[in-house]
Structure 1
């Protein structure tokens, strides 16, 4: 079973519900879930006040959510309130969980996140995936998914869905990797390879990273351009809290914007793309270093120690990023640019030249650049949380399992 992508988030049923009595009830169940999730613990009366329904109506909705295992009662509210204390409600720490997975060029990772947003299980496998056929990579990933699901079940959780972040273009069907140049995958249907007992969505890693920033970042605006990097460089555009995905779902390929049209060839088929100047491997080459398991840590350590070759390579990478971002900022006018992934860990040495380039080239006022606190965890967390958001958006659509 495959969940469709949509503009709100890649894995949730954020679809419009029908204008019927049943559709209205489903929308109200979602309103209760979102309210308790964002502001709880709350009493039934407090929920009713916040969403503008009667206490009787909210009580009926809450009872249904409790029976489904999505909300639990914690006991009487704190003392000191006027009147008889109500029972405090919170989203359940048991029941459905979002399973997030990430296929990186040099790693696989899987985690389980409960409805409260807590990571309950996580595992990672380091190793090169570039040039490997999709089937053995997915076989390894499947083993990691099953391990995490088993650990989650031991804590009273079950998988509401699996969202997989990949470094490439994903079709709007939410399952087909159309092109992943750094993996050398083309037209790969992951639903044919992954086990079908868990609802599946596949999405671009930069999109999931941006959604993690939107949902989990502190003070993140609803209009921003999110840029992340590992071997490749991806970007995602968020407008009014929604992903701008493009006609085919391929928006955000900043890494393949040419910054020097006659530059070196890129795996995408172009020349002089941003990835050839600001991707991790490109920076390591420019600094004269050999790639290892912790490339970002190596670069950050050498830069902090004053290695001028590394600092120069990072300055040049920041300049290339600034050139590519200028076009996006001039075209889209975002409220801010957010650096995530590997870029977050290298920000102290990238930002000066990046911001200088943006200030010099941007037509309007300077666009502020922020650094994500999620760093390289963004895509994995965004994938898992997209499943959780799907449960909050349509709790009535979640089958009760155990």
Structure 2
């Protein structure tokens, strides 16, 4: 009798230990059916069915036990698995040089609701973060959905373990601002349930793209992106962000690509940060930035709508060459199996993909033989989705424990 009880308990524990991996497979779209889930987990059909049923009972996924058969297919179709649209959400927020945005994000990286905030970021991080959390709380109240936690993306390296914004160069916050502590306090005071997390915006964009976008399937993913100002980079290795010993890895914006170029905020000269960002493009094209729209939107619109203008095309080629030089150096150091580009860099890739790929191939050691794929980011608001991923991670690690 004791042996049977032990066996039953062991099976139950194995099933529960599979809940997190199973949820992550559905969350990332890698297990669209119960048959695939069974194969990916390496368990029996009965165990996979029990795990899926438990996740459904927790309100996280939806199991379709009677899917239609595809034309010409044989046999009984497998149960289809999908995230539950009315399930819990994570609160996500992003602060950038031209404002902030709040969002609710469900499993699968699905944006449930968004709310753009102000267009002016003041020098007081507590005021700005308080305002964006107020917007988050308003979205959450209006939705009536359960919250698992909150994540914040900021345009700065975030030092670990203290969670301070080390170098917010393009917003007027003081260096060392305790953004994680401020965010956690605001989240708690707003009555938002769950833990609070903070990270660098490009790191979080890379995480989101790796799980739900252009980086899916990559083992060594390099992401380089322009925000509203400046340039950031991130590296995802086997599904996890590589943030270095103290959270400061991949500050690619301060690679020198033009030794005689513009002075950089870091004290150097000719860095990617000031040679390939939206302001650099507008300046090179001879266009004065306007006050009515973000620099990112102005530069993107100019590139898409006036690329045939000689000055615009010349400016784009100049930035592409400098971006390619920086990417080639990163390829030589990091040997990624995929590169994804966001912000203005994505638009530059779209404008002349062959030129950018040729520059990278010509200047990287393995470029001609290895031909690293260079792709555009595909997710809207990927930094917001990545911020939500931080809040979802405890649930992915232990669904029962996190939701209890």
Tell me the TM-score normalised to structure 2 length: 0.81
**1:223-251 CA deviation, whole Å, 9 max, x = no partner?**
23111002110011223333221111111
1: CA distance, partners of 2:274 / 2:93: 27
Asked if 2 retains the 8 angstrom alpha-carbon contact of 1:71 and 1:92, the reply is yes
2: CA distance, partners of 1:66 / 1:58: 12
2:385 maps to 381
**1:32-68 CA deviation, whole Å, 9 max, x = no partner?**
323444366645x875565343455455544543443
Q: Write the mapping of 1:324-335 to structure 2, written as runs, cut at 5 A.
A: 324-335=326-337
**1:318-371 CA deviation, whole Å, 9 max, x = no partner?**
121122222211111112321112221232446454334323321223343523
Cα drift, residue 95 of structure 1: 3.1
Secondary structure of 1:201 counterpart: strand
Cα drift, residue 89 of structure 1: 5.3
Aligned partner of 1:396 among 366, 377, 400: 400
Aligned partner of 2:182 among 185, 192, 196: 192
Give the strand-richer structure, 1 or 2: 1
2:132 maps to 141
Pair 1:34 & 2:24 matched? yes
Q: How many residues align?
A: 374
**1:245-279 CA deviation, whole Å, 9 max, x = no partner?**
11111111111112234533222232221122111
**1:129-149 CA deviation, whole Å, 9 max, x = no partner?**
2x6221221122112211221
Aligned partner of 2:167 among 179, 193, 197: 179
Cα drift, residue 111 of structure 1: 1.8
1:6 maps to none
Give the direction of change, closer, same or farther, for the CA distance of 1:218–1:192 in structure 2 (3 Å limit): closer
Pair 1:275 & 2:264 matched? no
Asked if 2 retains the 8 angstrom alpha-carbon contact of 1:208 and 1:379, the reply is yes
Q: Write the mapping of 1:201-350 to structure 2, written as runs, cut at 5 A.
A: 201-218=197-214, 220=216, 221-230=218-227, 231-292=229-290, 293=293, 294-304=297-307, 306-349=308-351
1:70 maps to 60
Unaligned ranges ≥5, structure 1: 1-19
1: CA distance, partners of 2:15 / 2:338: 37
Give the direction of change, closer, same or farther, for the CA distance of 1:290–1:375 in structure 2 (3 Å limit): farther
Asked if 2 retains the 8 angstrom alpha-carbon contact of 1:233 and 1:275, the reply is yes
2:7 maps to none
Cα drift, residue 106 of structure 1: 0.5
Asked if 1 retains the 8 angstrom alpha-carbon contact of 2:126 and 2:182, the reply is no
**1:109-160 CA deviation, whole Å, 9 max, x = no partner?**
122122244221111125132x62212211221122112212332xxx2221
Moved more, 56-65 or 378-387: 56-65
Higher relative contact order (Cα pairs below 8 Å, separated by 6+ residues): 1
Give the direction of change, closer, same or farther, for the CA distance of 1:269–1:159 in structure 2 (3 Å limit): farther
Give the helix-richer structure, 1 or 2: 2
Secondary structure of 2:267 counterpart: coil
Asked if 1 retains the 8 angstrom alpha-carbon contact of 2:104 and 2:136, the reply is no
Secondary structure of 1:338 counterpart: strand
Give the direction of change, closer, same or farther, for the CA distance of 1:36–1:329 in structure 2 (3 Å limit): closer
Secondary structure of 1:252 counterpart: coil
Q: Write the mapping of 1:123-142 to structure 2, written as runs, cut at 5 A.
A: 123-129=115-121, 132-142=123-133
1: CA distance, partners of 2:37 / 2:337: 32
2: CA distance, partners of 1:41 / 1:224: 24
The root-mean-square deviation of aligned C-alpha atoms, in Å, is: 3.1
Give the direction of change, closer, same or farther, for the CA distance of 1:124–1:174 in structure 2 (3 Å limit): farther
Pair 1:93 & 2:63 matched? no
Moved more, 135-144 or 199-208: 135-144
Give the direction of change, closer, same or farther, for the CA distance of 1:391–1:343 in structure 2 (3 Å limit): same
Secondary structure of 1:128 counterpart: coil
Pair 1:107 & 2:99 matched? yes
Give the direction of change, closer, same or farther, for the CA distance of 1:342–1:78 in structure 2 (3 Å limit): same
Secondary structure of 1:265 counterpart: coil
Aligned partner of 1:151 among 142, 151, 166: 142
**1:168-196 CA deviation, whole Å, 9 max, x = no partner?**
11022373212211113311122224322
2: CA distance, partners of 1:82 / 1:332: 47
Secondary structure of 1:346 counterpart: helix
Give the direction of change, closer, same or farther, for the CA distance of 1:369–1:55 in structure 2 (3 Å limit): closer
